[in-house]
Structure 1
Amino acid sequence: MATVSPERYRVSPECSHEEFLAVARVYARAVADEHDLSVPVNRLDWEVSTRAKRRAGAVRYRDDRPQTVVLTWGYFERAGWAAMAATIRHELIHVHLIEETNDPSHGDRFRELAGRLDTHVHCERFTDPEWWVVCVDCGAQLARYRESKLVTDPDEYRCGDCGGQFRVERADET
C-alpha cells in the first residue's frame, strides 16, 4: 500500500500544463523511490495529451526503452488529482516492468504491483464514445471514439464473443 500521500502533491485543473507535469514528476519520483521501482523519472519525457479520449495515461517506448509518459488532461479535469495520481502510479508500473522484464502488459506482475501501489489495472471510461458497435446476436457493446473501419464497415467484422454480426449506433441516438 502506498504511503506517499498523493494529497501532499495535489494540484487542480486550474494549473498550467507545465505546473501539472512538474508536480507529476516530483510525485512520480517519490513513488518510485518508496517502492524501489527501476524508473528513470528524470530521463523520461513527460507530456500532456489534450486529444486522448479513452486512456488516462500511456507510456511510449522505443527500442524496448521507455521514452515518454503521457498524461491525459481531460481525465485530470474530470476525475481530479487523486485519480490522476493513481494513473501516474499505473504508468510507473509499466515503466518499471519494461525496464526490468521488457513486459508492457497488464499481466500477473502488473496486477501484483498495482495492488502494492494501490492503483487500477484499467482506467474507467471518462469520455462518452461517438459510436457504439453492438452485436446483434449477443448484445456485446464496443465503444468507439473515432470513425474506424469497424464503424464504417461493420459487416466485415464478427463479434469475438459469439461470432455474430455488428450494427453501429451513434452514441447521441441511443
Structure 2
Amino acid sequence: MGSGATSRTQLVERAERYAKTVALPIDYSTVSWEVSERARRRAGQCLYNPQTGAVTIRLTWAAFEAYGWEQFSGVVRHELVHAWEFQQFGASNHGPRFRQKAREVNAPRTCERFTDGRLALSCADESCDWHAERHRASSVVTNPGRYRCGACRSPLRVTHRESGESWRSHDGYERARRRIGEEW
C-alpha cells in the first residue's frame, strides 16, 4: 500500500498528517476523523454540524484497502474540499465552486468502484443489457415489480450475487430471503 497504514488508527493519523500538506485554508481544530467499516459505495464522506461548525471526515477502510494510499490520498483531498466549503460557506456540494477547488488540489470528483454490490438489478428482457447494483435491500430490491427498466421500461429482476437467488416481485423477495437465511 505504500502508506504504512495497517490499522484504522494509522489510517486516520496518516490522513490527518497528509491533510495539513494540502493547500487549503482549513481550520483543523474543528475537524475530526473516523473510519467507516460499513460504507460500500462511498470511499469518504464529509459531515458538517452547522450549529457547532464541527466537521467530521469519515474514510472507508475497504476503499483504502482496495486503492492503496496513492489513490486513496485523492479521496482525502476530495473530502478536504468539502470541509473547506463547509467552513467557508456553510454548505457543500459538487457544483462549480467545488469542481474549481478540486482541480486546484488535484482531487478527483468521483472515485472508482471499490466493491461490487451484493445485489444485481437487471432488465427481465434478455435483449436489454441495462443493469445496476445495490448493496442494501432498498425498495427496488424488496419490491422490483413496482419499478421498470431504465432503458426499455420492461420489468426488473434482482439477483442476490452470493447465492444466485433471483426474484421479480415482493413475494419473490420474501421467499428468496427465507431461502438465503443467515447468508443474506
Classify 1:124/1:155 alpha carbon distance in 2 versus 1 (closer, same or farther; 3 Å). Answer: same
The reply on whether 1:119 has 2:110 as its aligned counterpart is no
Give the conservation status (yes or no) of the 8 Å contact 1:59–1:66. Answer: no
The reply on whether 1:17 has 2:8 as its aligned counterpart is yes
Give the conservation status (yes or no) of the 8 Å contact 1:45–1:68. Answer: yes
Determine the C-alpha separation between the residues in 1 that align with 2:149 and 2:94: 23
One-letter identity of the residue aligned with 1:12 = G
Q: Structure 1 residue runs of 4+, over 4 Å off?
A: 159-164
Give the conservation status (yes or no) of the 8 Å contact 2:75–2:108. Answer: yes
Which secondary structure state, in structure 1, belongs to the residue aligned with residue 80 of structure 2?
A: helix
State the match for 1:89 in structure 2: 77
State the match for 2:146 in structure 1: 156
User: Which structure has more RCO (C-alpha within 8 Å, separation ≥ 6)?
Assistant: 1
Classify 1:159/1:61 alpha carbon distance in 2 versus 1 (closer, same or farther; 3 Å). Answer: farther
Identity in percent: 36
- C-alpha deviations, 1:10-47, integer Å up to 9, x for none? 52342x3222211211111111xx2xx34222321100
The reply on whether 1:51 has 2:43 as its aligned counterpart is no
Determine the C-alpha separation between the residues in 1 that align with 2:116 and 2:131: 13
Determine the C-alpha separation between the residues in 2 that align with 1:113 and 1:62: 22
State the match for 2:93 in structure 1: 105
Which secondary structure state, in structure 2, belongs to the residue aligned with residue 83 of structure 1?
A: helix
Give the conservation status (yes or no) of the 8 Å contact 1:57–1:87. Answer: yes
State the match for 1:6 in structure 2: none
Structure 2 residue aligned with 1:145, among 110, 125, 135? 135
Give the conservation status (yes or no) of the 8 Å contact 1:38–1:99. Answer: no
Determine the C-alpha separation between the residues in 2 that align with 1:39 and 1:107: 19
Determine the C-alpha separation between the residues in 1 that align with 2:54 and 2:151: 34
**Number of residues paired by the alignment?**
161
> Normalised by the size of structure 1, how large is the TM-score?
0.79
Structure 2 unpaired stretches of 5+: 167-184
Larger Rg: 2
The reply on whether 1:130 has 2:118 as its aligned counterpart is yes
- C-alpha deviations, 1:91-110, integer Å up to 9, x for none? 01111122223332111222
Give the conservation status (yes or no) of the 8 Å contact 2:50–2:90. Answer: no
One-letter identity of the residue aligned with 2:99 = R
CA RMSD of aligned residues (A): 2.5
